[in-house]
Amino acid sequence: MATNRSRRLRKKLCVDEFQELGFELNLGFKEDLSDEAIDAFLDAFLAEAMDANGLDYVGGDDFGLVCKATRGSVSEEQRAAVEAWLKGRSELTNIEVSPLLDAWYPEKPVNPAS
């Protein structure tokens, strides 16, 4: 791929100074949890952890990616707030929150300026 891209193209591709950061979640639910309890947890998660912090969640019940609801990057403070909210929930037995990563190209390293 060409490395000499125009500012406009870098912005469209979300690369270099326009890199957008997010993080992955991997959740483990208690074995005896009903489907209704999982649905109630997910509703609360979307309202209290995602919407309240200006974030969006893409994925399934137990694994997904968290990114900013508008254009831009998730901050370390937002990541920590979601992790703290999850740790306060009794429905979960396992919580894995990844470090911030490139939301568009997860295999690429995070730019130091991001």
- pLDDT per residue as tens digits for the range 2-58: 478 899 998 998 888 899 999 999 999 999 999 999 999 999 999 999 999 999 999
Report how far residue 114's alpha carbon sits from residue 110's, in angstroms, rounded to the nearest whole number.
7
Q: Are 62 and 56 in contact (CB under 8 A)?
A: no
Record the pTM.
0.88
Answer whether 49's CB lies under 8 Å from 85's CB: yes
Q: What angle do CA 70, 48, 43 make, to 5 degrees?
A: 100
With a pLDDT cut of 70, the percent of the chain lying above it is: 96
Considering just the CA atoms, what is the radius of gyration of the chain in Å? Answer: 16
Reply yes or no on whether the pLDDT at 61 is more than 90.
Answer: no
Q: How is residue 113 written in tokens?
A: 């300026």
User: Is the pLDDT score of 93 beyond 60?
Assistant: yes
Q: Identify the pLDDT of residue 111.
A: 81
